Amino acid sequence: MKQTIARSLIVVMAVFIIIAGKFAYIQLFQADKLQKETVEQRVRKIKEMPDRGEIKDNEGRVLAMSLNAKNIAVYPNLMKSKETREKVAKVLSDVLELPYKDVLKKVGTRDSKGKLVQWTSIANRVSPEKGEKLKDSDYAGYIEISNAPKRYYPNGSLASTILGFVNYENQPGAGIEMSLNHYLSGIPGYTVAEVDHSKKEIPIGFQTASKPVPGQQITLTIDSYIQYTLEETLKKAAKDMKPKAMHAVVMDPNTGKILGMASYPSFDPNDYTSAKPGSINLNPASYVYEPGSTFKPEYMAAALDGGYINENSSWYDGVGSVNIGGARIRNFDGVGLGQMGLQDIIVNSSNVGMVRISQTMTSKQTLEGLKKMGFGQKTGIEFPNEEIGLVPTAKRLNSDPQAKATVSFGQGISVTPVQLITAFSEVINGGYNITPTILEKVEDEYGNVQYQWAPGKKERAHKEKTVQLMKKYLAANYEIGSGKTIKINGYDGGAKTGSAWKVENGRYKPGAIIGSFMGFIPRDNPKYVMLAVVDEPEGIGFGAQSGGPIFHNAMTEILRYKGEPKTKPLKGKDKIEENIKINVPDLKYELFDVAEEKLKETVKGSVVVTKKGLGEVVISQDYNYKDGTLYVNLKTVNIKGTGATYIPKIEGLPVDQVKSLLGRYNIKLQSHGTGNIVYQETEPGEYSKKIKKLTVWCN
């Protein structure tokens, strides 16, 4: 008996020693590991993304904004059983409306060693409502729900080649979204949450460790209506000319502020993955081309500044061509001008005359003049990937007389539209240096101004006499030269056309032309300067026929919109009927009352609106302009018609008003937030299927 008791005591002591040894081993060698696992299971850190700063135009109209959305992820390593993973996958699948098998596969994601991973993404940018449903579910502890502001562009493709886009990972991909990201991005925060044994968050243990700091608000120099006018003008021109690409820039020549800058084709930054190849990075700061005759005013101004020529300089051109280094350089029409002065050279766009000017300058003097005007270097505009163009080297100009000659009329040198319009502005703005800009100001979340554009030190780019002469020559070209066919009734100004062979892969492409038109209004104190560039217009060989109509149509509307007074009296039939073209905004799918209000806001002057039909939604429009009054007919239909539902544009409207309207047709409005609608999930348009519910976000 005693032996049995002794043996039992020995066994008990042995077990005790083993257990004690195990505890000692854990304390000495595994304490850190176990503590880490405990923290991982009970505490989690969730990154909170900040709202990206808004982008507005110079009138305060919003061009880019952030909407509230949620990112959804899971913690697979916390789901110890297959049954738990299946239940979590079922909840996610039901709420997010995703295929169950796909979700289950993600929930069971394993690493290369076969272990369940700590974290994996399920869905990005889902509605806050779905996020709340997941948070209230029985399996919320296995699910991460984090703020993920969704970038939204309320005007679709408007100014897209300026703005760029923000991708699904909240990273900028182009435009000023990229170049000004340091202002817009904000600073992420994070939240620490403690969970219980069932993985549910413990409210008392939940705390925000760091609040996200919103991005700063940016105001651009762009005017949305001028931007809209440029883009609409390019779209209409594209139908007629079928070009490879087009660009148009409107600038205040006195400040360098860009008022509008459009490129074609453009894209919708809300759907950037569907953009045409090359369109996302297509803009006037990165597009490089040979400018042709629009380069002549800048070159002539440099020669006048240097004293190599003067207002009395003249040459004789008897045959319309000149032999340079064994090659014959011709005027575009092959006609000689006889004795020609500087104004004759500009008005007739004489290549021979420009070559004669180039012969008064050495290669060094030529390059000094080009550098002074900013060619071959960045302008400083706030754009990513700004190109500098290509200026021939001194070695090239010294060794190749043809290269030195052709630069004078814009061939053998490449520029960007932004470089050219900046240099041209300095010729006609009184002769002062400017830096092109699209950034007006930057404000923090409280409205404190962090940056405000201000004019720099006034420094001369050209002599006063040079400016006087060049404006005189350009005004003559606008009245009687290549610009006369596009001049705007009632306004004086100055202009220059350009046509150049297109360079492709280092060689001139046979038959391919780049046409351009550059002009300013008014003549004496220019307020607007515009450049239009058309890449390979179909069947058109001259800038007056390609870029000219773009300038005329867009500038006519801009002057009307800005209410600029006429600078000279109208004559003849023009005194009775100006025949101006109005860029009426696209009102399709607007509610009639909204469309009528937009017309009266946009079109200054007398407007008569006639409603055709008894519905609420505009489906077509037509108009005519007579005796100073714009007459607009708007055809309307009911939201629900026979066999179709017409979803109107409702962004910007009070949510209660829209809810009441849609309720008449038994359409439920599901809203996130209150106030005015800033985003509608269902695009405006005609739908053959029945629409029972619309989802919107409000501010």
Q: Domain holding 644: CATH number?
A: 3.30.10
In a domain, 679, yes or no: yes
Together in a domain, 91 and 30 = no
Peptide bond into 265 cis (omega under 30): yes
**Rg, the chain, Cα only:** 34
- What per-residue confidence (pLDDT) applies to 204? 43
**pLDDT, average across residues 627-651:** 85
Does residue 84 form part of some domain? yes
**Average pLDDT of every residue of the chain:** 88
What is the CB-side half-sphere exposure of residue 154 using CA atoms within 13 A? 25
Residue 191 confidence (pLDDT): 77
508 pLDDT higher than 60: yes
Say what the pLDDT of residue 5 is. Answer: 64
Residue 616, in any domain of the structure: yes
Q: Can you tell me which residue has the tokens 């006034």?
A: 458
What integer is the mean pLDDT of 332-344?
Answer: 90
Give the pLDDT score at 630. 78
User: Which residue type does 578 have?
Assistant: E
With a cut of 70, say whether residue 543 has pLDDT above it: yes
Q: Are residues 69 and 18 in the same domain?
A: no
Question: Do 130 and 215 have their domain in common?
Answer: yes
Strand arrangement of the beta sheet that strand 43-48 belongs to: 43-48, 189-194, 207-210
What pLDDT is attached to residue 12? 58
Specify whether 607 is located in the same domain as 651: no
- Sheet harboring 494-504: ordered strands across? 258-264, 245-251, 528-535, 507-521, 494-504
Number of domains in the chain: 4
- Residue 395 has a pLDDT of 95
Tell me the β-bridge partners of 322: 329
Predicted confidence at residue 612, as pLDDT, reads 86
**pLDDT of 593 higher than 60:** yes
- pLDDT tens track for 163-221: 999 998 889 999 999 999 999 999 998 877 665 544 455 444 455 578 889 999 999 99
284 upstream amide cis, omega within 30 of 0: no
What is the full DSSP assignment across 536-579?
A: S-TT---HHHHHHHHHHHHHHHHHHHHTPPPSS---THHHH---
- Domain boundary, last residue among 220, 251, 282: 220
Rank 36-50, 277-291, 658-672 by mean pLDDT and report only the highest. Answer: 277-291
User: Where do we find the tokens 């008569």?
Assistant: 608
Cα separation, 692 vs 302, whole angstroms: 67
Residue 87 lies in a domain: yes
* Top-confidence range, 19-23, 224-228, 645-649, 679-683: 224-228
Q: What pLDDT is attached to residue 600?
A: 81
> 76 in a domain, yes or no?
yes
Pair (6, 144) in one structural domain? no
User: SS in 3 state form for 448-472?
Assistant: CEEEECCCCCCCECCCHHHHHHHHH
- What per-residue confidence (pLDDT) applies to 214? 93
Instruction: Evaluate whether 662 touches 694 at the Cβ level (below 8 Å).
Output: yes
Give pLDDT, residue 644.
86
Please report the pLDDT score of residue 518 as a whole number: 98
Give CA–CA dist 548/517, Å, rounded.
5
The answer on 612 and 689 residing in a single domain is no
Pairing of strands 528-535, 245-251: antiparallel
Mean pLDDT of 86-106: 95
| Percentage of residues in the chain having pLDDT higher than 90 | 62
* CB atoms inside a 10 Å sphere around CB 341: 17
Other CB atoms within a 10 A radius of the CB of residue 185 amount to 21
φ, ψ (nearest 5 deg) of residue 577 = -140, 115
In a domain, 49, yes or no: yes
Which residue range is the domain that position 177 belongs to? 45-220
If asked whether residues 649 and 626 sit together in one domain, one would say no
Same domain, 24 and 152: no
- Residue ending a domain, among 199, 220, 241, is 220
Main-chain phi, psi angles of 599, to 5 degrees = -60, -45
Task: Please give the share of the chain, as a percent, with pLDDT higher than 70.
Answer: 88
- Asked if residue 209 and residue 90 are part of one domain, the reply reads yes
Mean pLDDT of the 516-542 span: 93
Nearest by Cα to 45 from 214, 212, 213, 207: 207
Looking at residue 374, what is its pLDDT?
Answer: 96
Query: Residue 255 domain-assigned?
Result: no
pLDDT at 517 over 80: yes
Would the pLDDT of 34 be above 50? no
Residue 552 pLDDT grade (very low, low, confident, very high; cuts 50, 70, 90): very high
620: number of Cβ within 10 Å: 13
- 43: pLDDT strictly greater than 90: no
**pLDDT at residue number 628:** 66
What CATH code is carried by the domain that includes residue 196? 3.90.1310.10
Q: Are residues 49 and 187 in the same domain?
A: yes
Residues 626 and 657 in one domain: no
Report yes or no on 17 lying in a domain.
yes
Last residue of one domain, picked from the residues 220, 250, 274:
220
Tell me 649's DSSP state.
Answer: B
Over residues 518-540, mean pLDDT: 95
Query: 86 and 137: one domain?
Result: yes
β-pair partners for 442: 218, 451
